[in-house]
Amino acid sequence: MELHDSKGLYDLDLPVAPAWFSDEPSGSWEAGYRMSLEVLRDALKRPEIWAERERMMVSAEFIWKED
């Protein structure tokens, strides 16, 4: 995966570790949404991502019981 600076494209300033665990990025929710859509579009073009996801998935059922 190639990383590149696209701050101008999304108008976000994403913090880096260790601060990113607690500091929210500056910028608008719209910019974050646009960035999420772009990442999804890229992921849809890469079947190896979905093959790995399928390999790592575990079936689980959760049953809610009230006392």
Q: What is residue 1's predicted lDDT score, i.e. its pLDDT?
A: 45
- What are the extents of the domains in the chain? 7-56
Q: What is the pTM of this model?
A: 0.42
What are the tens digits of pLDDT across the range 22-61? 666 678 888 889 989 998 898 888 999 889 988 988 887 7
Q: How many CB atoms lie within 10 A of CB 12?
A: 16
Q: What is residue 37's predicted lDDT score, i.e. its pLDDT?
A: 92
Give the number of residues written for the chain: 67
Question: In angstroms, how far apart are the furthest CA atoms of the chain?
Answer: 53
